[in-house]
Structure 1
Amino acid sequence: MEKRLRVFVYEEGDPPFVHDGPCKNLYTVEGRFILEMEFGENLFRTKDPDRAHVYFLPYSVTKMVSYLYKPHTYDVTPLQQFVSGYLEVISTKYPYWNRTLGGDHFMLACHDWGPAASTGNPYLYNTSIRVLCNANTSEGFNPRKDVSLPEIYLYDGNISPELLSVPPEDDPRPYLAFFSGGVHGSIRVLLLQHWKGQDNDLRVFEYLPKELNYYKSMIESNFCLCPSGFEVASPRIVEAIYAECVPVIISENYVLPFSDVLRWESFSVQVDVSDIPNLKKILKSVSEEEYKKLKKGVRAVKRHFVLNQPAKRYDVFHMILHSIWLRRLNVRLSRQ
Structure 2
Amino acid sequence: MAPSSFLLYFTDHRRLSPPLRPLFFFVPTSLALITTLFILFYIFTTSTLFTYQHPPLTSKPLLGAANESQRYNSLQFDSNGERGKIKITSNNVDKLLFVNPGSGNYVNNNDVFHDRDIFLEDYKEMNRSFKIYVYPHRRNDPFAHALLPVDFEPRGNYASESYFKKVLMKSHFITKDPTNADLFFLPFSIARLRHDPKIGVLGIQDFIKDYILNISRKYPYWNQTGGADHFYVACHSVGRSAMEKADAVRINAIQVVCSSSYFLSGHIAHKDASLPQIWPRQGYPPNIASLKRKKLAFFAGAINSPVREKLLQVWRNDSEIFAHFGRLTTPYADELLGSKFCLHVKGFEVNTARIADSLYYGCVPVIIANHYDLPFADILNWKSFSVVVATLDIPLLKKILQRVSSNEYELLQKNALKVRKHFQWHSFPINYDAFYMVMYELWLRRSSVRVQ
Q: Structure 1 length normalisation: TM-score?
A: 0.91
1:174 is displaced (CA, Å) by 1.2
1:196-246 CA-to-partner distances (Å, cap 9, x unmatched) read 2x2222111112442x11111001111000001001101001000101100
Q: How do residues 171-182 of structure 1 correspond to structure 2 at under 5 angstroms?
A: 171-182=291-302
More contact order relative to length (CA 8 Å, sep ≥ 6): 1
| Alpha-carbon contact 1:226-1:249 (below 8 Å) kept | yes
1:277-317 CA-to-partner distances (Å, cap 9, x unmatched) read 11111100001111111011101111111101201110000
SS of residue matched to 2:319: coil
Q: Which residue of 2 aligns with 1:245?
A: 363
Correspondent of 2:312 among 192, 207, 217: 192
Q: How many residues align?
A: 320
- Give me the whole-angstrom Cα distance separating, in 1, the residues matched to 2:186 and 2:286: 37
Q: Which residue of 1 aligns with 2:25?
A: none
Letter paired with 1:183: I
Are 1:214 and 2:332 matched, yes or no? yes
Letter paired with 2:338: E
- Give me the whole-angstrom Cα distance separating, in 2, the residues matched to 1:20 and 1:112: 20
Task: Please identify, of 15-24 and 86-95, the stretch whose mean Cα deviation from structure 2 is larger.
Answer: 15-24
Q: Which residue of 2 aligns with 1:142?
A: 268
Correspondent of 2:439 among 298, 321, 330: 321
Identity %: 36
Are 1:227 and 2:323 matched, yes or no? no
For structure 1, the residue ranges without an aligned partner over 5 or more in a row are: none
Are 1:89 and 2:214 matched, yes or no? yes
Q: Structure 2 length normalisation: TM-score?
A: 0.68
For structure 2, the residue ranges without an aligned partner over 5 or more in a row are: 1-125
1:109-144 CA-to-partner distances (Å, cap 9, x unmatched) read 001111111223111000100000010222221122
SS of residue matched to 1:247: strand
- Give me the whole-angstrom Cα distance separating, in 1, the residues matched to 2:369 and 2:352: 10
Q: Which residue of 2 aligns with 1:205?
A: 324
Correspondent of 2:178 among 35, 49, 71: 49
Stretches of 4+ aligned residues off by more than 6 angstroms: none
Are 1:125 and 2:250 matched, yes or no? yes
Instruction: Point out the structure with max Rg over C-alpha.
Output: 2
- Give me the whole-angstrom Cα distance separating, in 2, the residues matched to 1:102 and 1:120: 15
1:19 is displaced (CA, Å) by 1.2
SS of residue matched to 2:445: helix
Correspondent of 1:80 among 187, 194, 205: 205
| Alpha-carbon contact 1:69-1:79 (below 8 Å) kept | no
1:77 is displaced (CA, Å) by 4.4
1:140-196 CA-to-partner distances (Å, cap 9, x unmatched) read 211220010111123xxx34x6x832321x643111111111101111111111112
- Give me the whole-angstrom Cα distance separating, in 2, the residues matched to 1:119 and 1:262: 31
- Give me the whole-angstrom Cα distance separating, in 2, the residues matched to 1:242 and 1:102: 36
Letter paired with 1:27: Y
- Give me the whole-angstrom Cα distance separating, in 2, the residues matched to 1:323 and 1:25: 24
| Alpha-carbon contact 1:79-1:120 (below 8 Å) kept | no
Change (3 A) 1:192 1:16: same
| Alpha-carbon contact 2:288-2:361 (below 8 Å) kept | no
Q: Which residue of 1 aligns with 2:418?
A: 300
Q: Which residue of 2 aligns with 1:10?
A: 135
- Give me the whole-angstrom Cα distance separating, in 2, the residues matched to 1:68 and 1:319: 34
Correspondent of 2:155 among 24, 39, 58: 24
- Give me the whole-angstrom Cα distance separating, in 2, the residues matched to 1:217 and 1:166: 15
